[in-house]
Amino acid sequence: MILYLLAALVSIVVLVLAVLLDLIVGDPSPNNTDEWAFKLHPTVLMGKFTKKIEPYFKNPDAQTEKILGVLLGLTVIAAFTLPTFFGLWALYVLLGVAVYAIIAVVILKLTICIKLETDWAKAAAKAIQKNDLEEAKKYSHFSRRESKDLNGSQISSAVIESMAENLIDFKLSPMLSFALFGVTGAIAFRAINTLDGMVGFKDKEHINTGWFSANLDTVINYIPTRLTAFLMIIAAAILDLDYQNAFRIAVRDHAKTPSRNHGWPMAAMAGALRVQLEKPGQYVLGEPLEKLNGDKILCALQIRDVTIVLWMIMCVGIIAVTRFLFFPF
């Protein structure tokens, strides 16, 4: 029982400290790609590794290329998870739990991105409130769309949509993966998510090699995205926002986005804010009951933050159960 309590306590401390470390240090900005911190970030390394080995998994036969796509995905995942697992195991056995915990905190932090998004969202909101659209457009790449002709409302929409989508990929799913499978689980999720971002497209070049990575990302995010929408509705209720509309819009509009999963938190966010989020030519979520502006970005940040806290509380419960069964590295 003492060993179980110690294992659970260590994991909870690692999770909390990893989040606090990110809130203090943040992530290197992708606008500064020449910085060493950016070049050595695990997500960047995963992307470069995937791009480097992808040509070796090409084949003129579609079925063969699909099989090779499975091997591509497994190769990238293994290349980062196996060193993580055995490295942390060695630290734990040879140097003790304190050294293990310190390194685990640093690695887990690298799978989570909260501060960088917070800073960008606040900067975008401030620029929109000042009607400085040229400054605000710098942050519309949140949602990977051309910013040239966007107005203030459209930029606000782009930022809020991406915040809702990134809530899964860069915050909650890594935390859940850690709660279930330790730091190695969080690294595995980051590898899967990066693979999806690198090769998980339906264009001619990636339709076969990327099908496994794209579908694997969809599968592992299936439950987290829906659970996130539920917790966002609770967060809206805690913040005295329109939680009933959040539920209604989430149920009604979640299937309108190209993603099978991310429409849930995006639609829930639109409903809670009582705004209409739109990516021209792709989807429209929610209803324009209130004006979409910089203040709504700040409100979306509040919903995001409360959702993260609720998620961490849930993860503590999961850790309490899983560490009773085994101690994952």
Distance in angstroms (rounded) separating the CA atoms of residues 19 and 223: 22
> Which are the contacts of 12, defined by CB distance < 8 A and separation ≥ 6?
316, 319
Question: Bridge-partner residues for 144, per DSSP?
Answer: none
Structural domain tally of the chain? 1
Range of the domain at 60: 2-325
CB-CB contact of 43 with 190 (8 Å) = yes
| Average pLDDT over every residue of 257-270 | 96
Distance in angstroms (rounded) separating the CA atoms of residues 224 and 177: 10
pTM attached to this predicted model: 0.94
- What pLDDT band is residue 145 in, cutting at 50, 70 and 90? low
Give the per-residue pLDDT at 280.
85
Which is nearest to 153 in space by CA: 270, 275, 287? 275
Distance in angstroms (rounded) separating the CA atoms of residues 39 and 187: 17
Name the residue type at position 33. T
- What pLDDT band is residue 31 in, cutting at 50, 70 and 90? confident
Q: Each residue of 192-215: pLDDT tens digit? A: 999 999 999 989 899 999 999 999
Question: Which tokens is 144 given?
Answer: 């990977």
Give the per-residue pLDDT at 212.
97
Long-range contacts of 34-38 (CB under 8 A, 24+ apart): none
CB-CB contact of 113 with 27 (8 Å) = yes
Q: State whether residue 212 is helix, strand or coil.
A: helix
Q: Each residue of 79-127: pLDDT tens digit? A: 999 999 999 999 999 999 999 999 999 999 999 999 999 999 999 999 9
- What pLDDT band is residue 174 in, cutting at 50, 70 and 90? very high
Output the CA torsion sign for 203, 63, 51, 108: positive
Least confident range of 44-58, 131-145, 234-248, 297-311: 131-145
